Amino acid sequence: MTIRVMLVEDHAVVRQGMAAILSADSDMEIVGQADSAVEAKNIYDECRPDVVVMDIQLKDGNGLDCCRVLTEEHSCRVLLLSGFINRQMALKAIEAKAAGYILKYENSETIVKAIKTVYQGRSVYASEVSEHLVQLVGNDWKLTRKEHEVLALVGQGMTNKQIAKQLFLSEKTVRNYLSRILRKLDLENRTEAALYWHKQNSGC
């Protein structure tokens, strides 16, 4: 297994340090480096990475916007890195379809593990951003089997229409299921439900 990684970081020292750490792992290959969102989008087709490791704040814009473009146009896996963690930013990362969101100053072992987890199709979110969701784990048993199915599809980014088609339900029924899920788990909206699902299925 060789994971093709592209790094997107506007601080050269941080980017070079990250490249050195990842290159030391026999499962990793750095196939491209960019210091801006524009450059990342320009070199993506040439690099064809398995995982894009991207700073959430870039000199030419928001890394979230670039993440959204890459995931929607190329269906790639993006691991977002940040110098700070907060719940609101994590919700935006979910909306941008990021596969993960962790601190850029984590130790090398944690970052390498996060990349491998993302590559395997799972999600990785820093524990700090979802402490309030961890407290809700005890509520998970309240969900019915069908509610679990709906929650999983919400977590995977499906719309109500797509969920209805997948589960052979009407959109109204899906909305009713979602309302019950939010109430049982004490969540405010669809995005928080997705974050909850990601947390429960996170690899680290």
CATH code of residue 147: 1.10.10.10
* Claim to verify: residue 103 and residue 176 sit in the same structural domain: no
pTM: 0.67
Please report, for the domain that includes residue 64, its CATH number: 3.40.50.2300
As for how many domains the chain has, the answer is: 2
Last residue of a domain, one of 121, 145, 173: 121
- Owning domain of residue 148: 132-200
Is 156 in the same domain as 80? no
Question: Does 193 fall in a domain?
Answer: yes
Residue-level pLDDT at 128 = 63
Largest CA distance in the chain: 53
Q: How far is residue 102's CA from residue 60's CA, in Å, rounded to a whole number? A: 21
| Domain stops at, among 121, 154, 173 | 121
Q: Does 152 lie in the same domain as 111? A: no
Do residue 83 and residue 136 come from a single domain? no
**Residue 115 falls inside a structural domain:** yes
Do the domain assignments include residue 57?
yes
| Rounded average pLDDT over 108-116 | 93
> What would the pLDDT profile of 130-186 be if each residue is shown by its tens digit?
554 444 444 555 788 888 889 989 988 899 999 999 899 999 999 999 999 998 888
Considering the domain boundaries, does residue 127 fall inside one?
no
Q: What is the pLDDT of residues 67-89, one digit of tens each?
A: 999 988 888 899 999 888 766 77
| 41 lies in the same domain as 64 | yes
Claim to verify: residue 8 and residue 89 sit in the same structural domain:
yes
What is the rounded distance in angstroms from the CA atom of residue 153 to the CA atom of residue 201?
A: 13
Domain boundary (121, 148, 171) is at: 121
Q: What is the pLDDT of residues 38-75, one digit of tens each?
A: 999 999 999 999 999 999 989 887 889 999 999 888 88
Sign of the Cα pseudo-torsion (177, 181, 187, 193, in order): negative
